[in-house]
Amino acid sequence: MILLDTSAIISILRGDSEAKSIVDRPAGEGFCTTTITRFELFSRVYHRGLVKEGRVLRRLVKGLNLLTFDEESSEKAAEIMGVLLRAGRPVNVIDVLIAGIAVANGVEEIVTTDRDFKTIEEVYGHLKVVLLTRS
């Protein structure tokens, strides 16, 4: 399963060819996102009053498996944050929560433009990150 982070979904919505090429390839069990990513995306929609974008976004995320932040993922996220803090390389807590969900659910890779996930990959391991070029 391939997890699409908030920034990857935004890139897809903007028509970024690199992001679209990722979702056009075979993905084994498919693509997923998290309830946290959904929160981030829809916060932007409601904040800016983006009614049309909200409709498009709903159609897009409806086709994705939705992973939730539960007991197992919260413990994995805490483990990841502990490793990052011990290494002196803390990152945004939201990204750690998403990474915890990914690890707990056996996600094969995370697609993102966010370099914090690369830091998590380098320091913690257990995740493969595909870093898209910011458009």
Q: Which CATH class is domain 2-67+106-131?
A: alpha beta
Whole-structure pTM over 0.85, yes or no? yes
What are the boundaries of each domain within the chain? 2-67+106-131
Average pLDDT value over all residues in the chain: 94
Q: What is the mean pLDDT of residues 18-40?
A: 86
Q: For residue 2, is pLDDT > 90?
A: yes
CA pair distance 60, 63, nearest whole angstrom: 6
User: What are 74-114's pLDDT values in tens digits?
Assistant: 999 999 999 999 999 999 999 999 999 999 999 999 999 99
